[in-house]
């Protein structure tokens, strides 16, 4: 098996180009860079501090919820101080693109380093890490042979055995959007109707809560982003470690389209006043150093093949990832939300 989320065109030449771009001339530009980030400060600030150390560029970071930051960018317009938008999920990046708050720019380095299906075809945003939405199951109550696809979780045999978070969650919206893109709305709606009837409880909480619910016996399987499980495995909280020890990860749809993946990513705003530094930051976030950080500290997968992954990620084994262009997750977002609502997914 292979890992299609890694670029087929990655090479030493790409790594060299990015490294050269980062280390060109004096490494001191005396500039500032203003970033709006939907990523938690702890998950991005160490990288930004490293960027400052390398370039001398002062970084001003504003963190917040993804939708709130987009609303802020829209209201501020060209007067916004933001140069870069960092956020999770291609659905949110697509919304920002459609709202006109991002600008297109050309980057041979980023185009060579990041596969086409993980970035905007218009050059408005780039995926910087890959996250997989997987099935976790109770080791004591489920055999791996019982599992196969997301679609199979609508089977009556899973009645009252499935945990998942709310339909308001963008990760679930993007999963359903990927189904609409790959198999059409009609088939997706049939699946949704049956899938919702298999919920063990009304959707509540985040992905870690779903994992804890499986561990506690409230359900037998859950659909979550894999990095949440990784974070629990490596947590200093003994209760999280204990819950994680009672579940295992399963890669869905390995004989078909592959496991659904999404991204965290970034784009340069229309209002950017520090364009050179903004481009330099995105190039830095695609370097080996930054990509390894995503894997080691955030339990996400790198977008580039040249980068090693953590022992936690290696333990889950290789998997086949969906090759759908992640822009489609945003394109079908509205249809996904309406379909989920019609199916009664709260």
The span from the CA of 59 to the CA of 40, in Å, is 15
Q: Look at residue 18 and tell me if it is in a domain.
A: yes
CA distances from 120 to 26, 91, 108, 268 (A): 31, 11, 14, 12
CA distances from 287 to 133, 227, 234, 313 (A): 25, 21, 24, 19
> Do residues 45 and 97 both lie within one domain?
yes
The span from the CA of 253 to the CA of 245, in Å, is 24
The span from the CA of 54 to the CA of 167, in Å, is 42
pLDDT tier at 20, thresholds 50, 70, 90: very low
Closest CA to 112 of 25, 20, 204, 198: 20
* pLDDT at residue 2 in the model: 35
> Do residues 147 and 232 both lie within one domain?
yes
pLDDT tier at 185, thresholds 50, 70, 90: very high
pLDDT tier at 343, thresholds 50, 70, 90: very high
> Do residues 241 and 277 both lie within one domain?
no
Q: Please, which residues have CB within 8 angstroms of residue 192's CB and are 6 or more apart in sequence?
A: 176, 339, 340, 342, 343, 345
> Do residues 276 and 214 both lie within one domain?
no
**Among 27-36, 162-171, 285-294, where is mean pLDDT lowest?**
27-36
Q: Look at residue 5 and tell me if it is in a domain.
A: no
> Do residues 269 and 249 both lie within one domain?
no
Q: Look at residue 274 and tell me if it is in a domain.
A: yes
Mean pLDDT, rounded, for 214-233: 97
**Among 1-5, 89-93, 318-322, where is mean pLDDT lowest?**
1-5
Question: For residues 106 and 271, which has the higher predicted lDDT (pLDDT)?
Answer: 271
> Do residues 45 and 106 both lie within one domain?
yes
pLDDT tier at 293, thresholds 50, 70, 90: confident
Q: Look at residue 154 and tell me if it is in a domain.
A: yes
**228's tokens:** 């949440």
Q: How many domains does the chain have?
A: 2
pLDDT tier at 294, thresholds 50, 70, 90: confident
**pLDDT of 4 higher than 90:** no
| Host domain of residue 205 | 132-258+329-342
Q: Look at residue 3 and tell me if it is in a domain.
A: no
> Do residues 213 and 108 both lie within one domain?
no
> Do residues 274 and 253 both lie within one domain?
no
CATH of the domain at 147: 3.40.190.10
> Do residues 99 and 218 both lie within one domain?
no
Q: Look at residue 211 and tell me if it is in a domain.
A: yes
The span from the CA of 23 to the CA of 53, in Å, is 12
> Do residues 148 and 105 both lie within one domain?
no
Contacts by 185-190, CB closer than 8 A, 24 or more apart: 185/335, 185/339, 188/339, 189/339, 189/342, 189/343
pLDDT tier at 43, thresholds 50, 70, 90: confident
Q: Look at residue 160 and tell me if it is in a domain.
A: yes
> Do residues 38 and 162 both lie within one domain?
no
> Do residues 247 and 107 both lie within one domain?
no
Q: How many CB atoms are closer than 10 A to CB 81?
A: 16
* pLDDT at residue 178 in the model: 98
Please tell me the pTM assigned to this model. 0.89
Which residue's structure tokens are 């340069």? 268
**pLDDT of 335 higher than 50:** yes
Average pLDDT of the chain to the nearest whole number: 91
Q: Please, which residues have CB within 8 angstroms of residue 195's CB and are 6 or more apart in sequence?
A: 153, 154, 162, 343
Q: Look at residue 6 and tell me if it is in a domain.
A: no
| Strand intervals (E) in 103-146 | 126-138
Mean pLDDT, rounded, for 148-170: 98
pLDDT tier at 8, thresholds 50, 70, 90: very low
- The most confident of the ranges 43-57, 95-109, 239-253 is 239-253
């Amino acid at each position: 098996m292979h890992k299609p989320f890694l670029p087929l065109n990655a090479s030493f030449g790409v790594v060299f180009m990015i490294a050269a771009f980062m280390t060109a001339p004096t490494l001191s530009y005396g500039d500032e860079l203003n970033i709006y980030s939907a990523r938690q400060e702890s998950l991005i600030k160490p990288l930004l501090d490293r960027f400052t150390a390398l370039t001398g560029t002062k970084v001003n970071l504003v963190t917040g919820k993804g939708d709130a930051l987009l609303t802020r960018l829209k209201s501020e317009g060209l007067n916004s101080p933001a140069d870069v938008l960092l956020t999770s999920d291609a659905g949110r990046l697509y919304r920002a693109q459609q709202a006109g708050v991002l600008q297109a720019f050309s980057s041979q380095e980023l185009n060579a380093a990041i596969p086409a299906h993980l970035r905007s075809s218009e050059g408005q945003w780039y995926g910087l890490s890959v996250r997989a939405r997987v099935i976790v199951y109770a080791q004591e109550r489920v055999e791996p042979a019982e599992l196969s696809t997301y679609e199979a979780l609508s089977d009556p045999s899973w009645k009252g055995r499935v945990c998942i978070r709310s339909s308001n969650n963008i990760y679930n919206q993007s999963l359903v959007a990927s189904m609409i893109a790959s198999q059409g709305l009609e088939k997706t709606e049939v699946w949704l109707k049956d899938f919702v009837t298999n919920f063990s409880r009304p959707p509540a909480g985040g992905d870690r809560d779903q994992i804890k619910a499986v561990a506690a016996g409230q359900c037998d399987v859950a659909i979550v982003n894999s990095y949440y499980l990784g974070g629990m495995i490596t947590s200093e909280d003994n209760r999280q470690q204990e819950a994680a020890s009672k579940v295992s990860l399963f890669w869905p749809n390995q004989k078909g389209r592959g496991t659904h993946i999404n991204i965290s990513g970034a784009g340069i705003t229309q209002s950017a006043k520090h364009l050179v530094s903004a481009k330099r930051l995105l190039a830095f976030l695609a370097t080996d150093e930054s990509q390894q950080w995503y894997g080691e500290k955030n339990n996400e997968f790198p977008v580039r093949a040249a980068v090693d992954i953590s022992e936690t990620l290696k333990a889950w084994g290789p998997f086949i990832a969906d090759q759908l262009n992640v822009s489609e997750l945003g394109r079908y977002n509205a249809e996904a939300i309406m379909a989920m609502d019609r199916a009664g997914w709260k």
